[in-house]
Amino acid sequence: MSMIIVYTIATLSGIGVVSAIVLYFVAQKFKVYEDPRIDEVENSLPAANCGGCGYAGCRNFAEACVKSETFDGLYCPVGGNDVMSKAATILGRNAVEKEPQVAVLLCNGHCDASPKTNIYNGATTCAIESALYGGDTGCTFGCLGHGDCVTACTFNAIHIDTDTGLPVVIDDKCTACGACVKACPKGILELRKRAKANRKIYVACKNEEKGAIAKKSCAVACIGCGKCFKVCPYEAITMGNNLAYIDADKCRLCRKCVSECPTQSIIEVGFPPRKIKEEAPGAVTGENAPADSSNSVSN
C-alpha cells in the first residue's frame, strides 16, 4: 500500500516537472517584449486616467507615445506642455506645445431669462431628459441643469449654481480634459483657448431658431442680428444658423461686440469694470439746452 502512494507521488511530481519545463519554453517562445520607456513615460504623466487624451488611461497613452514616431495627435490636456516636454525628453523627440484651454458653457438661459413652461417628472439626468423631449423651457437648445457634466468631471471643476440653475466652470481647476463636453447631450459645452487672467468673450447661446422665436423663449438668446459681426475689427465673428460665433483664436478681447449686442447674449468674463464716460465740461442737455439758432428771429 505504501509503494502505491510512493509511485503516485513520484508520477505526479514527474508530470509537474515536465509541465513546468514545457510552460517555461512556451512562455519564452511567445514572450511579448515591452519597451521599458513605456513605464518612464507613464510615470511622467499625471495619472488622472480621465480619457482627455483620447485613450482609456495614462498607460494606454504612454504606449501610444512610445509606439508613434511623432507626437502628432497625441497630447495630455491635464499635464499640458510641461508633461509633454518630459515625455519628449524621454523619447528623444520634439515636444508638442499647445495653448491651454478651458471649458465654457454656451448658454446663459438662467431661470429668469428662460422660465419653465412645464414640469419634468423623470430621471434627473440630462441624457435621459434630452432623449425624451426638448426640455422644460421654451428653448430646446439650452441647458437642462441636471449636472451630467458635474458628474463627469473628475477634477471638481464644475458645479451647479442654485440661483441660475446653470453649471459654473471653475477655470483654475479645469484641466480641459473634455469629459464634460462629451457628457453634455445638448452640445453646449466646448473647450476654448484660455486667455491671460482667464479672460474670455463668447456667445452664450446655441439656439438656432430665428430671432423672434429665440427671443420669445429666452430673453438673452442670440437673435442673429449680425451687429457684433459688423463691429468686430479682427474678423473673429462668423454668422451661421441664426447664430453668431466668436473664434477664440482670432478674438483680441476688444469687447466691442459685447456692448453692441442688443440681447446681452455675448458674455465677457475676467475684465475690469467699464469706465463710465464723463460729460464734457460745460455741456448741457435736456431742458437746459439752448434753443436752435436756426429757429431764432433777429430784430
* Of 49, 32, 42, 47, the residue nearest 65 (C-alpha): 42
What pLDDT was estimated at residue 231?
Answer: 97
| C-beta atoms surrounding 263 within 10 Å | 18
**117 pLDDT band (50/70/90 cuts)?**
very high
pTM (2 d.p.)? 0.76
Q: Which amino acid does the sequence have at 83?
A: V
- Mean pLDDT value across residues 91-99: 87
The one-character DSSP state at 69 is: S
Grid cell locating 203: 456667445
Integer angstrom CA distances of residue 39 from 42, 49, 85, 92, 194:
5, 15, 16, 15, 31
- Provide the H-helix boundaries in the chain: 2-29, 37-44, 58-67, 80-91, 126-132, 148-152, 179-183, 211-217, 227-231, 256-260
Q: What is the pLDDT of residues 265-297, one digit of tens each?
A: 999 999 988 777 655 555 544 444 444 433 333
* Of 80, 97, 130, 102, the residue nearest 202 (C-alpha): 102
Give the domains, in start order, of the chain with CATH numbers. 37-91 (1.10.15), 101-269 (3.30.70.20)
- 66: Cα separation from own chain's centroid: 27
CB 139 within 8 A of CB 217: yes
Q: What is the pLDDT of residues 212-265, one digit of tens each?
A: 999 999 999 999 999 999 999 999 999 999 999 999 999 999 999 999 999 999
List the single range of 6-15, 28-37, 56-65, 217-226 with lowest mean pLDDT.
28-37
What pLDDT was estimated at residue 106?
Answer: 97
Q: How many residues does the chain have?
A: 299
Give the span between the Cα atoms of 150 and 191, in whole angstroms.
Answer: 15
Q: What is the pLDDT of residues 137-170, one digit of tens each?
A: 999 999 999 999 999 999 999 999 999 999 999 9
Provide the percentage of residues in the chain whose pLDDT is more than 70: 91
CB 192 within 8 A of CB 200: yes
**76 pLDDT band (50/70/90 cuts)?**
very high
Give CA torsion, residues 194, 198, 204, 206, to 10 deg: 20
* Of 259, 253, 257, the residue nearest 244 (C-alpha): 257
